[in-house]
Amino acid sequence: MESTVSHLKRCLPFWEKLTDAQQTLLTTRSGWVTYGRGETIHRGDEECVGLILVETGQLRVCMLSEDGREITLYRLYPGDVCVLSASCVLEAITFDVFVEAVEDTRMLNIPADSFRQVMEENIYAEAFSYKTATLRFSEVMWTMQQILFMGVDRRLAIFLLDEIARTGSDTLHLTHEQVARYMGTAREVVSRMLKYFASEGLVALSRGGIQVTDRKRLREMT
Amino acid sequence: MESTVSHLKRCLPFWEKLTDAQQTLLTTRSGWVTYGRGETIHRGDEECVGLILVETGQLRVCMLSEDGREITLYRLYPGDVCVLSASCVLEAITFDVFVEAVEDTRMLNIPADSFRQVMEENIYAEAFSYKTATLRFSEVMWTMQQILFMGVDRRLAIFLLDEIARTGSDTLHLTHEQVARYMGTAREVVSRMLKYFASEGLVALSRGGIQVTDRKRLREMT
C-alpha cells in the first residue's frame, strides 16, 4: 500500500508545480476508498465525487441510455486518473457517465471541492485535467469506431484477445451477459456469435466460462 | 473582414497571457484562407494543418471508416477554434478526423509548427487547447448518444428542426444523401423515413428540397 503523498506524486505529473499549501490541501483532504467488484463509484445524476486515482484493480467508465442500455467507453488501471468523475469541476465536460469497479479496486479520492480550488489557482492542474480528458476522448473515439463500423464478429474477436492478453489466461470467467455489457451490445447477439465461434473451433464454451482455443484464427479476424 | 490580431484576440482567450514575442509569432505566421462548399480542409492521413479559427461560414468535423462511411461528429461556426486539425501538436489526440467546409468558409490558420512552439512555451496555450478538445469531446458524446440510443425518426426530427433553426428557412436544400451523411446513416434509411414523414404531413418533399410543414409535431417527436 502506497502512502497518500507518493500516490499523488505518481499520478499527478503537475505535483511539483503546486505550492506547498496546495500540496498540503490535496494530501490532507484526499481519502482512500475500496470498492468491490460491480459496485458503482460515480453516477452522472448524483453529486460528483471528484478525481479518482486508481491504486489497484480496474474501473470501467460507461454511458447509459434513457432505456438503460450501457456502453463501456474505456477502462482505467492502476496509476490512471479518472477525470470524468470530476465533471462538476471541469466545465467543458457536459455529459454524464457512470464509473463501476470491474474487480475489487482501491483508489485515492480527491474530493471535488478541494480539486476545484487547486484547479482555479493553478493552471498546470487545469492543463493536466483537460489533457487527461482528451486522452479519454481518444479512447472513446476508438470505441466508437469499433461499435459503428465493425462487425460483431470482429469486435468479439478483439475483445476475447484483449482479455486473454490482459489476464494471462486462455479461459475467461465471464458470462455472455457480461461480455455483452462490455461490448455495448445485446446478450443474444453475443451468445449467437459465441456459439458460431465454438462451432468453428475458435472457443470452447462451458458454464460461466469461455476458453479461447484458436488464438491464431481469432487474430486473423481482427 | 477582421484584422489578424483582432481575430486572434477574439478566438484565443489566452492571448493576454502570451509574451510579446509569442503574439508576434502567431500574428506574422497565421494566414487567411477560404474554402468553398464541400472542400476538404484537413485529412487525418495527411500532414496536419494546425489550428483553424473560423471567421465566417461553417465547417463539419467527421470520422471516416475504412469502408468510407462517414459520421458528422460536430460542426464549427464563426469564432470557433478547430483543434483536431492540430492533432499532430496535441499528443493526447490519437485519432484521425477530417474537416470539410459545409459552405464557403473564411478562416485564419495558425500553422502546426508555430502553434507547437507557443504551446511548448506557454502553459495557458496548452490548457486552452485541451479544454477546447474536451468541449468537442462533450459534443461527440452527445452525437454518440443520438446514434447509439435514439431511433432514426427522432434523430431525423432533431436534424430537421436544427437545420431550419440555423438557416432561418422552412425549406432545406439538401439531398437525402446529404442528410444521411450528416446523420451518419444510410441514404435508404433517410429516404424511407422522409417518405413516412411526408405521408404524416410533417414535411413536403420536392426535387432537391425538404420543406418542414409541421414544426410542432416534429418537436413532439424529439
State yes or no: pLDDT of B41 exceeds 80. Answer: yes
Render pLDDT for A28-54 as a digit per residue (tens, 0 to 9).
Answer: 999 999 999 999 999 877 778 999 999
Same domain assignment for residues B91 and B196: no
Q: B60 and B11, same structural domain?
A: yes
Question: Residue A173's domain is classified under what CATH number?
Answer: 1.10.10.10
Residues B156 and B64 in one domain: no
Of B81, B115, B145, at which residue does a domain stop? B145
**Percent of chain B residues topping a pLDDT of 70:** 95
**Which of A94, A110, A145 is the last residue in one of the domains?**
A145
Kindly determine whether residue A131 and residue B92, on different chains, have CB atoms separated by under 8 Å.
yes
**CB of B127 closer than 8 Å to CB of B85:** no
A124 and B123 in contact by Cβ < 8 A? Answer: yes
CB pairs under 8 A between A and B: 96
Kindly state whether residues A107 and A210 are assigned to the same domain: no
| Predicted confidence (pLDDT) at residue A159 exceeds the cutoff of 70 | yes
Domain end (from A145, A168, A195): A145
A22 lies in the same domain as A126 = yes
Name the residue facing B138 among A69, A94, A149 (closest C-beta).
Answer: A94
C-alpha cell at A218: 481469432
Q: Determine the residue type at A35.
A: Y
Helices and strands of chain A, counted as H and E runs = 8, 11
User: Which one of A62, A65, A90, A134 would you mutate to disrupt binding with B, by most B Cβ within 10 Å of its Cβ?
Assistant: A134
pLDDT of res. A18: 98
Question: Do A37 and A137 lie in a common domain?
Answer: yes
The ipTM value here is: 0.75
pLDDT at A149: 66
pLDDT at B219 over 60: yes
Mean pLDDT of chain B: 89
Name the pLDDT band for B204 (thresholds 50, 70, 90). very high
A16 touches chain B (CB under 8 A): no
Q: In which band, very low, low, confident or very high, does the pLDDT at A65 lie, cut at 50, 70 and 90?
A: low
Is A66 near chain B, with CB under 8 Å?
yes
CATH number of residue A12's parent domain: 2.60.120.10
Both A42 and A132 in one domain: the answer is yes
How many folded domains does chain A comprise? 2
CA A106 to the chain's CA centroid? 14
Task: Note whether A125 and A157 are same-domain residues.
Answer: no
Residues A140, A156 within the same domain: no
B62-121, pLDDT tens digit by residue?
A: 987 655 567 789 999 999 999 999 998 999 998 889 999 999 999 999 999 999 999 999
Q: How many other C-beta atoms can be found within 10 angstroms of the C-beta atom of residue A19?
A: 11
Letter for the amino acid at A23?
A: Q
Element (H, E) at A107: strand A105-110
Query: Residue A36's pLDDT is what?
Result: 96
* Residues A100, A207 within the same domain: no
- Are B35 and B102 found together in one domain? yes
**First-to-final CA distance of chain B:** 38
Question: Band of the pLDDT at B149, cuts 50, 70, 90?
Answer: low
Q: Which domain holds residue B162?
A: 150-221
Task: Indicate whether B141 and B156 sit together in one domain.
Answer: no
Whole-structure pTM value: 0.76
What three-state secondary structure class fits A87? Answer: coil
Is pLDDT at B44 greater than 90 in this prediction?
A: no
